[in-house]
Each structure stands twice: as structure tokens, then as C-alpha cells.
Amino acid sequence: MRRFLHFSEIAATEEGLHPQQHQLLLQVAGAPEGTVVTIAYAAERLGLRHNSVVELVNRSEGEGLLLRVADPEDQRRALLRVTRKGKLALGRLSEDHAREIRELGPRLVRTLEAICAHERGQSKRGKRSGSEARER
């Protein structure tokens, strides 16, 4: 996982984005249909403070990656939209990430299976020793 996260950060940087901008674009573009995508929504999804996301949105908007539009239902809040430039950057990054997942995926699956097998083994040993203790 760490290797993939490191790859993702480098890929975003090479695309000219700060890694958090990439994450922001993913949250905005990938929000479920019908979701009202606001700064508060992005802050919750990214695990960042509201004011940190405001700065991130300001930077991303200044670079032409995002648009901030007034919410027609509530003029006090802004809705976030990914621009064509942002979608193109996400598309390129998604291709790179899919290629990396295809490469790392089998190794990750094997590792997760080994962890699960280990956990099952630990759990069986714990039950056995518990029943052995009751027999004494």
C-alpha cells in the first residue's frame, strides 16, 4: 500500500499537481450521482479541515482544474465542478494508476491472503488452547 501511495504522489507531482489536489479532483469527479459536492463534502472525504480545503480549492481553481459555482438552492454555499483541464489530468493519472494496480495487485492480493491465513491460524490456536484449558 505504501508503495502505491508513493507512486500516486509522484505521478500527481509529475502531472503538475500537488498530491492533495489529485485527491480533491478524485473526490469531486468521483462523487456519487446526486451528491452535492461542496467544500464541506470534500473536507469530510479528505479528512482535512474546512479552511485547508478552501486553500486547496483556491489553488486548484486558480490553476483551472476546478470551478466553484453558486448553489442555486442555497446561495451561501458553492458547488465544486472539475473543469476540462482537470478531467484531462485525472484521465492521464487514472491510466497510470490502473497500470500500477495491475502490476502491484497480484502481490497485494497474495499479501492480504497471507495475513488472513495467519489470522485464521491464530484464531484456531486460541480456540484450541481455550478448550484444552477447560478439559483440565
Residue 120 has pLDDT above 70, yes or no: yes
What span, in angstroms and rounded, lies between the C-alpha atoms of 79 and 36?
Answer: 7
pLDDT, greater one: 56 or 130: 56
Q: Report whether 46 contacts 53 (CB < 8 A).
A: yes
What the chain holds in terms of domains, given with CATH numbers, is 2-96 (1.10.10.10)
Buried b (16+ CB within 10 A) or exposed e, 53-80: bbebbebbbebebbbbeeeeeeeeebbb
Which amino acid is located at 75 in the chain?
Answer: Q
Tell me the pLDDT tens digit for each residue of 82-113. Answer: 999 999 999 999 988 888 888 888 888 898 89
Which tens digit of pLDDT belongs to each residue from 9-38?
999 999 999 999 999 999 999 999 999 999
φ, ψ of residue 107 to 5 degrees: the values are -65, -40
pLDDT at 133 over 90: no
The string of DSSP letters for the chain reads -HHHHHHHHHHHHHTT--HHHHHHHHHHHTSPTT----HHHHHHHHT--HHHHHHHHHHHHHTTSEEEEEETTEEEEEEEEE-HHHHHHHHHHHHHHHHHHHHHHHHHHHHHHHHHHHHHHHHHHHHHHHHHHHH-
How many CA atoms lie less than 13 Å away from 65 in the CB half-sphere?
A: 24
Rounded to two decimals, the pTM is 0.76
Banded model confidence at residue 135, pLDDT cuts 50, 70, 90: low
pLDDT digits (tens, 9 = 90+) for 34-75: 999 999 999 999 999 999 999 999 999 999 999 999 999 888
Residue 126 has pLDDT above 80, yes or no: no
Which of the four pLDDT bands, split at 50, 70 and 90, describes residue 132?
low
